[in-house]
Structure 1
Amino acid sequence: MPRFRKLSSACIALGAASLMVTTSVPLAYGHGYTSAPTSRAKFCQQGTVTNCGAIQWEPQSVEGPKGFPSGGPADGRLCSAGISHFAQLDDPRNGTWPTTSVQSGQSYTFRWQLTAPHRTTNFKYYITKQGWNPSAPLTRSALELAPFLTVNLNGAQPPTQSSHVGTMPSRTGRHLILAVWTIHDTANAFYQCSDVRFG
């Protein structure tokens, strides 16, 4: 009987160790991504874009410090929220990311899929300036730092499928929209970059 107990204890310990190893793999427990316009993170998760690294398993986890544009992630790391294992999102890929077609001045419904809603301060949407360089990583100097759409929630919790109606700015050609979801009761925000093309 003592030998059986020792064997059982060893099996339990081995099982616990296996569980620890398997749960160290990235898990989809996170928070939210934009589905309209489709974000780089979502394109990676869909497999539309390959060689994306870890973001393909967790497009909802692009979380970094809040306070953009005076704070937040560093320039050149805005699309990854400064997370090194999501750095593929910062790579402009020579301006070849898939785009969503939009029109200047159109009414547009921006959509987030929230896998774990949080109390929210606001959602803000920023866009690149006319003449920005789509072959370079995104920086503050490439963006209009006044958001073209702000949706204030003042601490309320949004639904898991959140929609925000706004007006697309006047632009031509390829641009990038940075969506920032600022959490009310933590020090963080979620960042999503979406490539768009104005017709």
Structure 2
Amino acid sequence: MLSAVVAGALTWSVPAQAHGSVVDPASRAYRCWSVWGSHFQDPAMQTEDPMCWQAWQANTNTMWNWMSALRNGLAGQFQAQTPDGKLCSNNIAENDSLNRAGAWKATDVGSNFSVHVHDQASHGADYFKAYVSKQGYDPETQTLGWGNLDYLTQTGRYAPATDYTFDLSTSGYTGHHVLFVIWQASHMDQTYMWCSDVNFG
């Protein structure tokens, strides 16, 4: 038992793969790790944060490896290679818990806000693409499909760095939505996709 706990702690402090994620508004896996990573055995997670708890129960690596939701060789065919209902996991089976509808904790945002991506490996970006779920879509009862998204923007290139930010401008959104971001890394054909829960005031 003790060896398992120590192994888990080592995985948390020294990630197996160093890549990146949206850290603000926090992606689902990153938020679970940032809130519960230092006390993942706390039974309060089940009642206080049930969506993180179910993700932890389904696969602990979903939270530990929050920075590694990547696929190689998509050649820009994001929609064709990512079925509806699998967007939040980037169609990675071990992260399927991130696709589940439910009461994910959301970050409060205004109609105009910035996205902060942390890139541990300084891969750079060919671009970021950002979408937000349509008004009327309910992330607590519906999984996310491409038809549930409104396109917001595609950025230009970013030179390799550890942090990138870009601004989003929206209108007409209220309540709980999903921000969906695609990161096309520059060092190779490597694609990351994340869902961040946001609450438009």
TM-score range, shorter chain: 0.7 to 0.9
Larger Rg: 1
Measured after TM superposition, the shift of residue 151 of structure 1 is 1.4
Tell me which residue corresponds to 1:162: 164
Q: Which runs of 5+ in 2 are unaligned?
A: 1-6, 37-48
Take 1:83 and 1:102, find their aligned partners in 2: how far apart are those partners? 28
Is 1:71–2:80 an aligned residue pair?
A: yes
Q: Distance in 2 between matches of 1:159 and 1:186?
A: 15
TM-score normalised to structure 2 length: 0.75
Cα offset, 1:162, TM superposition: 1.2
Query: Of 145, 152, 155, which aligns to 2:156?
Result: 152
Length, aligned pairs only: 168
Give the number of the structure whose residues are more often helix, by fraction. 2
> How far 1:182 moved relative to its partner?
0.8
Matches within 5 A, 1:1-199: 27-46=15-34, 47=36, 49-52=52-55, 53=59, 54-64=61-71, 65=74, 67=76, 69-93=78-102, 96-104=103-111, 106=112, 108-134=113-139, 135-144=141-150, 146=151, 148-153=152-157, 156-199=158-201
The CA RMSD over aligned residues, in Å, is: 2.1
* Distance across 1 between alignment mates of 2:78 and 2:179: 14
Please give the secondary structure, in 1, of the residue aligned with 2:159: coil
Q: Distance in 2 between matches of 1:139 and 1:74?
A: 8
Aligned to 2:40: none
Letter in 2 for 1:152: G
**How many percent identity over aligned positions?**
27
Q: So what's the TM-score if we normalise by structure 1?
A: 0.76
Q: Name the amino acid aligned to 1:87.
A: D
- Is the 1:69–1:140 Cα contact (8 Å) retained in structure 2? no
* Deviations 1:54-111 (CA, angstroms, capped at 9, x unpaired): 1111111111335255434211111111111111111112xx000011122x2x1210
Note the C-alpha offset of 1:119: 4.0
Partners of 2:23 and 2:31 within 8 A in 1 = no
Structure 1 unaligned blocks of 5 or more: 1-21
